[in-house]
Chain A
Amino acid sequence: MISLDKITKSFGASNAVSDVSFSVPEGSFLVLLGPSGCGKSTMLRMLAGLDQPTSGKMQFGDTLVADGEAGLSLPPADRNAGLVFQSYALWPHMTVAGNIEWPLKVAKLPTEARRARVMDAMEMLGIEKLANRYPGEISGGQQQRVALARMIAPRPKVMLFDEPLSNLDATLRVEMRFELLKVHAATRATAVYVTHDQVEAMTMATHVAVMNNGRIEQFDAPDRLLAEPASAFVAGFVGTPAANLIPIENGKWFGTMPDPLLRDQFGYAMVRAEQITLADEEGPRIFDAVLAEVVPMAGRFLVTGIVNGIRITAVSDHVARPSGKLRFRLPSAPAAIFNKQGTRIS
């Protein structure tokens, strides 16, 4: 449904987005995930038609919507796409119903059809009672629902979201995640969702593009990102908790503990928290750490200690000893090894 071919966007000499290609089928939920400044918002704005790619082609279904070399870029309204802004961008002088209706008026829908669509959209998000209120009079969570309703009322084939949940508190965020998925399921439109929160990506996406420095580090299904991270960046960014990246030098953990399994490698070994156990005595692959914190989670404990300035997290059934000293036992094999540049080598 959406396919990108070598999309690049430059601002002056620097590239905000470099050479991005991917495609997702109709009805999928694509999450663009990455830290701030990674180019994910620029990507979204190009998909919306608010920015034009410098080079590369972009297709929605069979329609070519943008071609950087040819200077072609369909205006936003001709792409059959809707966008939810991070700030919601509700028009403050229109009521809730007015906000939802205005795009339909612009699209010249007859009055009856408009009324029905506005009602449908408000019902889907449970905001019928707010129809005559103004944006300034309703809460942040309600504004978010209005923004969603306004986006779906014209029934776009592509729904775009720019960090829509980042202004909400934790409880509302969980609730709205569910609402978003409900809306996505009901409309069967293709969704592209920008976020820096890997939990949102893991819980909502069918496809995730992890972005860093304007490039895609990995394009995969959420579970594949966890199982087979393509780079040290991905390994350290996704997962709750994220995997441990332990520096290795010349086949030695932390540069000090030799291990034949590491085969003289340099770089980082990825060890998942559930692979590390707490030990009582000294022994092979066991090292000391200073206790940093213990986080209870789902009946177990995330125990974090600090070794040589590096945080190491393990999952344990027991609370660590209160002495402040810890002993971690490494597994017999790391889950993956990355070289110094972060590229996966095994």
Chain B
Amino acid sequence: MASSTPASDTPRVPLARPSAPAAAVAGARRRRLPPTGKVGLALVALILLAALVGPSLTADPDAQNLARALEGPSRAHWLGTDQLGRDLLARIVLGARVSLLIGIGATLFGLLVGGSLGVLAGYLGRWIEALTMRAMEGLLVFPGILVALMVVAVAGPGVATVVLAVGLRAVPVFARVAQTSTRSLCQREFVVAARALGASGARILARHVAPSLLNTLLVVASLQVATAILVGATLSFLGVGVPPDLPEWGAMLNAGRRYMLRQSWLVIYPGLAIMLTILGINLLGDGLRLALDPRHGRGAVLA
């Protein structure tokens, strides 16, 4: 589960901003993205664009032409063809869709499940908190890739399994961040005041705690997407992830491995796509951290 930064595994994340979300929305104190963050934003925008409209601009990624299999880069096929004569560029562009689906889907799963568990644990406290956090620590006893491999072993390969496998790995990460932030938020004046005014628990969580948590969780989530894409690609590269026919970058590297000594482009370009995606997400995530939390002057980009 090659992680993006140490922070994504050991949540050393700044606690939620003390000010209410209104300040962040008003933009009065909003910081601009640092230059590295803008490079990241550009890279991420490029990948998103490729995933959304790319497939309609390229050749048919599934069109086989065995007569032209394993051809090097040419004017007809900019990045060459694979072992079935399919256009590599078209498959890499479509692969952005698969990889982002896995990365974002798994992160959303981790964010929703882990985040809600963490918020409830931090808000309710007592034995519920102890029990939930013990369970989360229980998951952290296992290396992330081992959790993912166990899910795959139980549920068999497939896209949904990969999303679940990679997402389950992220659940304790989000739960820990949400729990510590919620605990400190619950002692702040505006939450105490809301409670004194007679607001219900649900209202306090929805109107006061959750919005203040959002910045923190968003920063963690952005970096987690990179980790999720990497773990998903690792599973597929190992042949236990998505079905081998699917144009997923890790699966393409696995298929290209057999031909790499003569047709090295088959393993160079899909890997380059993974690297640029992860680089972009990391730069953007670190930039967001700097922009959203002015107190953390030295973010992971510089540290």
A and B associate in one complex: no
Chain B residues close to A by CB (< 8 Å):
none
Chain A residues close to B by CB (< 8 Å):
none
